[in-house]
Structure 1
Amino acid sequence: MLILAQAGFNKNNKPRLLLANNKTGEIKEFLPQNSQNITIKFNLSTHYCTGWHDLKTGENFTCPDKAVLDSKYNQCSKCQNKTGFNPAFYHASSISPQQQERNNQPHFVYLAYFSDEYIKVGISFHQRGIVRLLEQGARAYLSLGEFTTADIARSYEAKISKLPNIYENIKNNLKIKLLNSEFNKQKAFKKLVQTRSFIEENLKVAFDKNSPEDLSSYYGNFINSKNIILIEDCQNPKNELIFSGKLIAQIGCNWLAETQGELLLLPIKKYVGYQIEINNDLTDIKMPEVQGSLFDF
């Protein structure tokens, strides 16, 4: 039995899944290939702990207790304590030694472009490179600069997020809708540079003059389309979810496949912790009886 332990991108900036075998303790990396036929089946009857991550070595481990959890949690308390990571450490009353060690290392502040109307500010551990941006599905980004600690980087992030039209968080349902926005690299780059100038003017600071970077080449062969169907809107057996088709793109943690003349979207990170099966034999998907674009609401 394999559990989806993680969905994201690896250190080589390739989309990947980490699959955990709770029986053997083995964790495998699955690397999807664009244009391959793929079927992914989730058993939704039981939600498991995804295990723990060693912040120092980068290794992942299965949950020693094989804990079963409510779907709103991905780690049991033991694995959470072993990992010791809190992405919102700045809101916590205390932080772990693992987190403190990580925070004392360089972090960079970035602007992530999703559309002209949605620019997000964030920080990331410098050794992760652009992985965090890829996992968020940003179309382009601009690094404002690298700082010696996470606390310094966070202080800039907090100030920037208070400025108008710059977001600290963008929910995945909005990111999915924004896939309908036509992406123009030159337009995105211009908007990012303008936003940096706006921030510098308002905060009276000067950031590094880095050039914007395009991220679209990391995601696959996606063409903007209004005709996307969410896999959750398809008819699935009780306690099951089946995603099947020719994989064409992985934009952040949203996977897109062509099947039966339609474009299906799977928000795969939503199913972390569930039992998973992957094979290359296509299966028919029962489409919604009244098909409509997810952008209609």
Structure 2
Amino acid sequence: MNETDTQKQIINISWKFNKKDESYYPTITLFDHNTNEVQVLMLRNYIFNYILTTERYCPGYHYLDGYHPCPYNNILNKDSYSQCFYCDKKQGFREAFLFQGEANEFMQEYLKQKHYVYLAYFEPGIVKVGTAAESRKFLRPIEQDALVYMFIAESDGFSIQDLEHTISKEIGLTEAVRSGHKFRYLSQKPNVDKAKKLLMSYFAKIYDRYKDNDKFSSWIIEKPELVDLSSLVTYPEDEVYKVKNSETDYLVGKFHAIRGRYTIFENSNILLAVDERRIIGKYIKDYQDDYHYKVENRKSEIKDQLSMI
């Protein structure tokens, strides 16, 4: 029996945003290859009981007409791969947005929409500059575990990265905060007052520098609003242990939180975190209600794990 014969594949673990009531909720998205149905499951109070394939398979791509599963079911043999070469080219995001190559029809439409530059705060006093498309304006920051942020400029997707890179270079702001750093501060709720002062301070520098710039001045939002999502997420009160690579064939326990790219769940009164890069693309082989993860020398192990993230 082929290990993918169960036909249900994990294609995403992320947040959803309800525009009607402006609420956020964590979800896991499965694709059933038997019925060609996309299933979005709410994760609050959800009990995972998955035995997963050892291999990860390409989760497919999105195009103008919606989601498409990978036609070749290609294996992803590196954690850093989120799609196979074929699906990556079909979707076209990296080619057009990251590498400034020619945009396909889907990316032409995507890049035409309004895009934003945002400043985001991370403990213990780090400010990141990033971008978000209009269609993902409310999701991009929280997916990055950016819980206190402000949108400071807007333009189209073809141009917005120019300002992002310029701000990073000239103002001295990072464009990325390491996942390992975020993991270290999982339990620390952001200091919103400190965040506001720091974000406004950097915005003032940006405004002063580019208010008379021929290219960027019209993009700047003169009165940016602070967004505070710090009350929406869960801050673990106990230590969180990273699931060993050898045990990512199991996802068993009660959902606790999504924080950045980590899904946190409780198993045998222990909080565990699994990197989404190690489970997205896997198929559900079977179901099992009970599995005990190997967590030895807990206090010393967490330090070792964090040093390797």
Is TM > 0.5 for Structure 1 vs Structure 2?
A: yes
Q: How many residues align?
A: 286
One-letter amino acid of the structure 2 residue matched with residue 9 of structure 1: W
Q: What does 1:135-150 correspond to in 2, within 5 Å?
A: 135-147=143-155, 149-150=156-157
Matched, 1:18 2:29: yes
1:257 corresponds, among 252, 265, 272, to 265
Identify which of 30, 33, 53 aligns with 2:44.
33
**Normalising by structure 2, what TM-score?**
0.80
Q: Is the 8 Å Cα contact of residues 21 and 62 (structure 1) preserved in structure 2?
A: no
Deviation at 1:218, TM superposition (A): 3.2
- CA deviation profile, 1:118-154 (whole Å, cap 9, x unmatched): 211111111222111111111211110332x113322
Task: Indicate yes or no: 2:205 matched with 1:194.
Answer: no
1:228 corresponds, among 240, 245, 252, to 240
What is residue 96 of structure 1 aligned with on the other side? Answer: 104
Percent identical: 26
Q: What corresponds to 2:214 in structure 1?
A: none
Residue 4, structure 1, aligned to residue 4, structure 2: no
Secondary structure of the corresponding residue to residue 145 of structure 1: strand
Q: CA 1:268 to 1:207, structure 2 compared with 1: closer, same or farther past 3 Å?
A: same
1 CA distance for matches of 2:88 and 2:99? Answer: 17
Query: Do the aligned residues in 1 keep the contact of 2:51 with 2:284 (CA within 8 Å)?
Result: yes
* Structure 1 vs Structure 2 CA RMSD: 2.8
1:74-89 aligned within 5 A: 74-86=82-94, 89=97
Give the whole-Å Cα distance in 2 for the aligned partners of 1:162 and 1:262: 42
Gapped regions of structure 2 (runs ≥ 5): 1-5, 19-23, 212-216
Residue 210 of structure 2 corresponds to residue 210 of structure 1: no
Match of 1:129 among 137, 161, 166: 137
**Cα distance change on mapping 1:249 and 1:73 into 2, 3 Å:** closer
Unaligned 5+ segments in structure 1 are none
Distance 1:88 1:175 in 2: 28
Secondary structure of 1:244 counterpart: strand
CA apart distance, 1:40: 4.1
User: Residues of 1 paired with 2:202 and 2:150: CA distance?
Assistant: 10
Q: Shift of the alpha carbon at 1:159?
A: 0.9
Partners of 2:173 and 2:286 lie apart in 1 by 39
* 1:286 partnered with 2:300: no
Residues 232-243 of structure 1 aligned to structure 2 (within 5 Å): 232=244, 236=247, 240-243=248-251
TM-score, normalised with respect to structure 1: 0.83
The letter for the 2-side match of 1:208 is: E
1:43 corresponds to: 53
Name the residue aligned to 2:185.
178
1:106 aligns with 2:114: yes
User: 2:300 aligns to what SS in structure 1?
Assistant: coil
| Partners of 2:286 and 2:145 in 1: CA distance | 23
Which consecutive aligned stretches of 4+ in structure 1 deviate over 4 angstroms post-superposition?
A: 277-280
Deviation at 1:278, TM superposition (A): 8.5
- Matches of 1:258 and 1:285 in 2, distance apart? 11
Distance in 2 of aligned mates of 1:277 and 1:186: 47
